[in-house]
Structures are given as C-alpha cells and as structure tokens.
Amino acid sequence: MIQVEHLTKYYGTTRGIEDLNFQVSKGEVLGFLGPNGAGKTTTMKILTCYQPPTSGTAKIFGHDILEDPLEVRKKIGYLPEKNPLYTDMTVREYLNFVGELKSIDVGKLKQRVNYSIERCGLENVQRRTIGKLSKGYQQRVGIAQAIIGDPELLILDEPTIGLDPRQIIDIRELIKDLGKERTVILSSHILPEVSQVCNRIVVINQGRLVAVDTPDNLRSRLKKTSVITIKIHESPESQNAKGIVESIEGVILVNEKESTDDVKVLTVESDPDKDLRYEIAKELINENVPLLEIFSEELSLEDIFLKLVTEEVS
C-alpha cells in the first residue's frame, strides 16, 4: 500500500502542494488528475524521492520516503514527464545501461532486458538508435526502463504527452496491461486517459486535494440533474415540441439547438431520480411529433473535472 500523509511542498513562499492525503491499494491503477500547474509533477518527484517535502511524508509498501529513500526507490519504476533517454544509444544498449545503474544482478540482467523489450513491444526496434525512433516508440522505451527492475509500483508522469492519437491509444493499452501485474499511479491532465485506464482518481487543483473517488462515484455525487437528448424530424408538427416537453412534470429546463439536416435537437434537464424518457416519448407521439431518437447522457469525466475545479476555486 502507498500512504500519503499531509504532504506539503513550498518553493519559498510559493505553494507547490499542500496537505495531500490519500492511499493507493496494492494492485490498483490510480489516476492523479489535475490541470497544468496543479502540483502533479511535484507530488510524483516527492513520492520517488527525487525531492523532499516541506512537511508531511509518504510510505511506499511500508518504507518511509524520508527515513528509507533507497528502499523506496527499489520499489518504484518511474517515467518522468521529460523522458530521460540517451538518444545516441540503441534501445537494447540503453536498457542494459539502466539495468546496470539499478544494480540488477548480472545473471538476471539479460532476462530483465528481454522481458522489458517484449512487454513494451520493442522487439522490432531493439537494435535501432533511440534518437531515430518515433515519439511513441520513445515513450515505450521510457516505460521499458521503468519496469526493468521489476518494481512493485509504477509511476508514470504524463506518459502520452506529445503523442498522436494512434500512439496515445497504444500507450494507454500498454498501461492497462501493465496494471494487471503491479500498482500504477498515472499522472495526467488528459481526462479520457484517466477514465479509460484507472480504477480510482485523485483530483488536485492549485496544490490542494479536490476529490478522491471512482469516476462513477464522482458522476453520482455531482449529478444534480439528468440530461436527455431528443432528436425530432423538422416538420409543422414539431414546432411546439419544446412546449410539449416543458409541460411534463419533472422537467427542469429545455434547450433547443439550431436545426441541421432537418433534425431538431432538444436537450432536457430533469430530476435525476426520474427517468422521463418514456413520458416524453409518449407525449410527443400523441401530438404526432416525428420523434427520431431519445437518450440519456451521463456526465463525462470532463464535466466532472470542470465542476470539481470550479467548486474548488469558488
């Protein structure tokens, strides 16, 4: 287990993070989410013993980061935001070099290098110079160096930054796969990445903890209204559709979007404890309104994030 207790870091009078408290269970994939400048990288540097806190501490599988930093580092594989690659080395040379720095037993080093290459899908580029690889493959090399010591905890700081959409999907799938074998902390400001990879998320803003929960629980906490989208074929009968929906008990607000391709779109905010789709559809059909589609929309993680950060600032 990872236990973070009252973790605080100031740079002079400037707050980096303040009084962070959270836990990560063994085998969990935790998302560490926040906007740029929220304090994510500061927290990652402290947890990996690259930087001391001003106050507070953390324990990594029973080892205190202040009292036992060497043991903590043995437990951690770390990919910082700026990938520390030697671009004039080949992939295999670099991983051998990292393995030697981590004091991996000579008899096991080749096995660990082979494992990291295979696990990260680097077989076809292992003899190539790192500087000539695509950004996506360079990130794979960065993850490979992080797992070469067989760490119990993998900390990845913005691992998909600067990648194209295809590369992001590939790295995301790799992280999900690695999360089946070890504990992972994934720091990111990219919301879909966190929602698709992590079991639970920590949200921070301006150095302070905003929320710790699963994406589903955060949606439930913040969902004050349900949102229903209605698509209607543009016709004389559809002109009063907005008024029909507004008259239904439980409807809070109806917005009408500009029609495109003869399709009128209404968005309905309603009481979250009532599913009004059947009632809305029945009333529209009774009035001969040509209903094309009706569906509920969940709060996206983007919506959750914006609400949490807005509430924190206010």
* d(C-alpha 143, C-alpha 171), whole Å: 9
Read off φ and ψ for residue 174, nearest 5 degrees.
Answer: -65, -45
* d(C-alpha 40, C-alpha 38), whole Å: 6
Q: What is the pLDDT of residue 42?
A: 96
Beta carbons within 10 angstroms of residue 120's beta carbon: 25
For the chain, the structural domain boundaries read 2-220, 224-297
Closest CA to 297 of 264, 249, 265: 265
- 154 within 8 A of 122, measured Cβ to Cβ: no
Please tell me the CATH superfamily of domain 224-297, with its number: ACT domain (3.30.70.260)
pLDDT in tens, 40-91: 999 999 999 999 999 999 999 999 999 999 999 999 999 998 898 999 999 9
Whether CATH 3.20.20.70 fits 2-220: no
Q: What is the pLDDT of residue 34?
A: 86
Paired with 203 in beta bridges are 33, 211
Q: What is the pLDDT of residue 298?
A: 65
Q: Which stretch of 71-75, 173-177, 251-255, 303-307 has the lowest confidence by average pLDDT?
A: 303-307
Please give the residue that has the higher pLDDT: either 273 or 119: 119
pLDDT in tens, 151-208: 999 999 989 888 888 888 889 999 999 999 899 999 988 777 787 889 999 999 999 9
* d(C-alpha 297, C-alpha 228), whole Å: 6
Q: What is the pLDDT of residue 195?
A: 79
Q: If you average pLDDT over residues 83-112, what whole number do you get?
A: 95
Q: Measuring CA to CA, how many Å separate 312 from each of 203, 206, 207, 219, 283?
A: 11, 9, 11, 16, 41
Q: If you average pLDDT over residues 104-109, what whole number do you get?
A: 93
